[in-house]
């Protein structure tokens, strides 16, 4: 890629590492959560569902602010991590991962939840009658039937993590190679009046986001095109 | 009811909204038992409970001495450990698997107690040429045949069929009914067949459980239960009996066959039957005309049998009544008007001549 400085490249690599880490962790965490939200039978589903979708409407700075307080040296989590000898999370890559996971959670959980709900009860009844136990049903029926949801979850989770700014600003700061991601780098360029560099990075991000979404729409089976 | 160690014993109580279910059903360990009744009778609810798919339904279910569910001790065996084969009303094949993948799904998870002759089953149901197909490329009849073979390949101890023909068009329905009839003759496991179509029940069932509004109206052998005339009022146009007999003669000129049954003989239209075949035929109550004297020589009726009036039952319409008859040990039902009942001065014990129009069942 032309027009990128070494610092831009560092920011690019960091952003990709962050997005990949967050997406993988969110899939591991979000799949059981979405499964429970889609098929659980307790009354807790609704409040938890509301909590999971909260980052969709919350200004990222609000989320970042509370995280800063919570994870900081005087916050509950901050004191715990200090006591465990992990130090505090704000202004570290790990802190950025935690914050990004919270912020991108609904973008992973919602497509998965919708996909699990769209399967309906019948395939699971059939599988049970054919001798498949609960875990077997999850891997042999739920996962293969929900794969368009997984595709959407991966693309949205990844792309949304790349695009975040407000949370990073609050909890990550702007440390090169640690927390200086692409969106921060673009902001720096604009602040410094380096519009050409800002243009280059912005264009790359725009093209990447479009390509990711296009790939997602092309790969989805037509019959599963329902929301 | 006394608990028996063979067969399936089902006692269920269940209330949801204004639908109440309260049944005590016995399914013998051999043959096909039909759950028969109008829609809303609770047939599918019973079937789902038997499969363990609705654990909310309270009750006690035992199969061959094993307790599948006992709400009093909160014991419930999950569906996947009951080893049942369940065929749903509409096709329920896994869309992410091919026909072969669908068939293998159950077979791989089968207990493997007795090897199933896969090739013979595939051929019998005509699905052997479909194996590589995707399920969305199958016709309705093909899907249902694959679903039945898939259930059988899972080596079930009990087969549950929930109106498997109701979503099919007439040719596909007739074809699958023939397959099921053949299966009936060979199948070693008890089968429950849910239906609201009397012709399916008359052809396939050995035992009958008549249901209405969440309760069992009557149950027992097919012939005896049908002959009791206890059908839901809404289904009284389907009243009739099923007679089983043997073809003893054929008339190739007139395309007729003669069927000998316990109480006499009947001429039926010939289709593919041959002398020696065992055959079921259905005689609808509306296809029986009664007289107190032998019909005059000018009558077109082919079949006239002598019968004794046993009793009378109400029909759906107040102008009608159903007369229960005995033909030398074989039960017969006749639907006549109440006016005729009076003008012929009929009463239990009366001797009558019944003109019968019989149709053979099967293909």
pLDDT in tens, B280-307: 888 889 889 999 888 777 777 788 889 9
pLDDT band at residue B233 under the 50/70/90 scheme: confident
Say what the pLDDT of residue B273 is: 82
Q: What ipTM was assigned to the predicted interfaces of this complex?
A: 0.84
Residue carrying structure tokens 């109400």: B314
Q: Which of B85, B94, B111 sits opposite A129 (nearest CB)?
A: B85
pLDDT in tens, A81-96: 888 888 888 888 888 9
Q: How far apart are CA B80 and CA B122, in angstroms?
A: 24
Q: Rounded to an integer, what distance in angstroms lies between the CA atom of residue B317 and that of residue B353?
A: 24
Chosen for mutation from A41, A131, A141, A145 (greatest number of chain B CBs closer than 10 Å) is: A131
For residue B29, give Cα distances in angstroms to B5, B62, B347: 10, 12, 40
- Average pLDDT for residues A142-148, to the nearest whole number? 93
- Candidates B84, B95, B109; nearest CB to A132: B109
**Cα–chain center distance at A100:** 6
Whole-number pLDDT of residue A225? 42
Count chain A–chain B contacts defined by CB atoms under 8 A: 59
The per-residue pLDDT for B46 is 94
Closest residue by Cα to residue B238 from B188, B206, B195: B195
**Which pLDDT belongs to residue A110?**
95
pLDDT at B363: 45
Q: Measured between alpha carbons, how far is A184 from A193 in angstroms, rounded to an integer?
A: 14
pLDDT score recorded for residue B144: 92
* Mean pLDDT score, A17-28: 95
pLDDT band (50, 70, 90) for residue A224: very low
> Is the pLDDT reported for residue B62 higher than 60?
yes
Query: What is the CB neighbour count within 10 angstroms for residue B247?
Result: 19
Least confident of A96-100, A112-116, B295-299: B295-299
Between CA B219 and CA B207 the distance in angstroms is 7
Radius of gyration of chain A (CA): 20
Q: Is the pLDDT of residue B47 over 90?
A: yes
Q: Which residues contact A131 (CB under 8 A, 6 or more apart)?
A: B80, B83, B106, B109, B110, B111, B154
* In chain B, ranges of CATH 2.40.50.100 domains: 240-360
Mean pLDDT, residues A209-216 taken together = 86
Which residue, among B55, B119, B42, has the nearest Cα to B82 in the 3D structure?
A: B55
pLDDT attached to residue B27: 93
How crowded is residue B141: how many other Cβ atoms within 10 Å of its Cβ?
Answer: 21
What pLDDT, on a 0 to 100 scale, did the predictor assign at position A102?
92
- pLDDT band with cut points at 50, 70 and 90 for residue A33: very high
Q: Which residues on chain A place their C-beta less than 8 Å from a C-beta of chain B?
A: 122-123, 125-133, 136, 140-141, 144-145
Hey, what domains does chain A have and what are their CATH numbers? 11-39+50-221 (1.10.3720.10)
Determine whether the interchain pair A131/B95 forms a contact, defined as Cβ–Cβ distance below 8 Å. no
Nearest to B94 among A128, A136, A141 (CB): A141
- DSSP assignment string, B12-70: EEEEETTEEEEEEEEE-SSSEEEEE--TTSSHHHHHHHHHTS-TTSEEEEEETTEEEEE
pLDDT at A113: 95
Q: Which one of B47, B48, B56, B80 would you mutate to disrupt binding with A, by most A Cβ within 10 Å of its Cβ?
A: B80
Q: What is the mean pLDDT of the segment spanning A5-10?
A: 87
The mean pLDDT of B320-347, rounded to a whole number, is 92
Q: Which of B88, B238, B93 is nearest to B163 (CA)?
A: B88
What distances in angstroms separate CA B162 from CA B6, B87, B191, B251, one per listed residue?
23, 6, 11, 40
Strands of the sheet containing B256-261, edge to edge, are B264-269, B256-261, B240-251, B278-284, B359-360
Range(s) within chain B of domains with CATH label 3.40.50.300: 8-229
Residue A222, pLDDT score: 61
pLDDT value at residue A2: 54
Is the model more confident about B17 or about A144? A144
User: Strands B32-36 and B207-212, how do they pair?
Assistant: parallel
**Mean pLDDT score of chain A:** 88
The answer to whether the CB of B150 falls within 8 A of the CB of B118 is no
CB contact under 8 A, B154 and A122: no
> Looking at A163-177, A194-208, B14-28, B321-335, which range is the least confident one?
A163-177
**What number is the average pLDDT over the span B251-261?**
90
- B361 — pLDDT class (breaks 50, 70, 90): low
> Measured between alpha carbons, how far is B119 from B90 in angstroms, rounded to an integer?
25
Share of chain B above pLDDT 90, in %: 47
DSSP three-state, residue B137: helix
Per-residue confidence band for B1, with pLDDT thresholds at 50, 70 and 90: very low
d(CA B356, CA B286): 9
CA angle B21, B27, B30 (to 5 degrees): 160
pLDDT reported for residue B162? 94
CATH class, domain B8-229, is alpha beta
Mean local confidence (pLDDT), A215-222: 79
Please name the residues in contact with B270: beta carbons below 8 A apart, sequence gap of 6 or more. Answer: B250, B251, B252, B255, B256, B257
Which of A126, A139, A223 to mutate: most B Cβ within 10 Å?
A126
Into which CATH architecture does domain B240-360 fall? Beta Barrel (2.40)
DSSP state of A43: T
- pLDDT surpassing 90 at residue A107: yes
For B87-137, how does the pLDDT look when each residue is reduced to its tens digit (9 = 90+)?
Answer: 998 878 999 999 999 999 988 888 766 667 888 889 989 898 999 999 988
């Amino acid at each position: 890629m032309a027009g990128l400085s070494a610092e831009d490249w560092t920011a690019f690599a960091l952003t990709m590492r962050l997005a990949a880490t967050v997406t993988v962790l969110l899939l591991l965490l979000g799949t059981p959560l979405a499964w429970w939200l889609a098929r659980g039978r307790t009354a807790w589903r609704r409040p938890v569902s509301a909590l999971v979708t909260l980052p969709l409407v919350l200004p990222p700075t609000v989320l970042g602010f509370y995280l800063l307080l919570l994870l900081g040296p005087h916050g509950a989590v901050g004191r715990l991590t200090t006591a465990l000898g992990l130090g505090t999370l704000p202004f570290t890559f790990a802190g950025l991962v935690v914050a990004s996971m919270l912020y991108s959670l609904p973008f992973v959980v919602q497509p998965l939840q919708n996909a699990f709900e769209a399967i309906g009860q019948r395939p699971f009844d059939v599988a049970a009658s054919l001798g498949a136990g609960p875990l077997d049903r999850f891997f042999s029926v739920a996962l293969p039937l929900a794969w368009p949801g997984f595709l959407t979850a991966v693309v949205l989770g990844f792309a949304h993590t790349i695009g975040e700014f407000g949370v990073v600003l609050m909890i990550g700061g702007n440390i090169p190679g640690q927390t200086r991601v692409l969106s921060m780098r673009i902001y720096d360029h604009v602040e410094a009046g380096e519009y050409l560099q800002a243009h280059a990075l912005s264009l790359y991000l725009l093209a990447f986001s479009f390509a990711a979404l296009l790939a997602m729409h092309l790969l989805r089976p037509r019959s599963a095109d329902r929301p | 009811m006394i608990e028996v160690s063979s067969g399936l014993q089902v006692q269920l109580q269940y209330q949801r909204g204004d639908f109440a279910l309260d049944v005590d059903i016995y399914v013998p360990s051999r043959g096909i038992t039909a759950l028969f009744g109008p829609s809303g009778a609770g047939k599918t609810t019973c079937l789902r409970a038997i499969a363990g798919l609705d654990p909310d339904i309270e009750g006690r279910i035992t199969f061959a001495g094993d307790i599948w569910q006992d709400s009093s001790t909160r014991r419930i065996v999950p569906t996947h450990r009951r080893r049942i084969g369940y065929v749903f009303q509409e096709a329920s094949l896994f869309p992410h698997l091919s026909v072969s993948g669908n068939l293998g799904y159950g077979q791989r998870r089968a207990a493997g107690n007795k090897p199933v002759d896969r090739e013979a089953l595939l051929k019998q149901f005509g699905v052997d040429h479909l194996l590589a197909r995707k399920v969305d490329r199958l016709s309705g009849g093909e899907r249902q045949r694959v679903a039945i073979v898939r259930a059988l390949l899972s080596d079930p101890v009990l087969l549950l069929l929930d109106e498997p023909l109701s979503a099919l068009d007439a040719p596909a329905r007739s074809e699958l009914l023939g397959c099921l009839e053949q299966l009936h003759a060979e199948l070693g496991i008890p089968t429950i067949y849910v239906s609201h179509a009397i012709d399916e029940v008359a052809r396939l069932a050995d035992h009958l459980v008549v249901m209405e509004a969440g309760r069992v109206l009557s149950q027992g052998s097919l012939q005896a239960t049908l002959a009791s005339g206890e059908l839901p009022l809404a289904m009284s146009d389907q009243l009739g009996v099923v007679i089983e007999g043997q073809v003893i003669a054929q008339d190739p000129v007139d395309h007729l066959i003669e069927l000998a049954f316990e109480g006499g003989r009947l001429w039926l239209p010939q289709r593919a039957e041959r002398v020696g075949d065992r055959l079921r035929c259905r005689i609808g109550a509306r296809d029986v005309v009664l007289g107190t004297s032998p019909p005059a020589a000018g009558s077109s009726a082919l079949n006239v049998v002598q019968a004794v009036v046993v009793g009378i039952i109400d029909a759906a319409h107040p102008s009608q009544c159903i007369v229960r008859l005995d033909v030398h040990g074989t039960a017969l039902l006749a639907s006549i008007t109440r006016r005729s009942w009076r003008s012929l001065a009929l009463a239990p014990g009366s001797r009558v001549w019944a003109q019968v129009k019989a149709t053979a069942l099967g293909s």
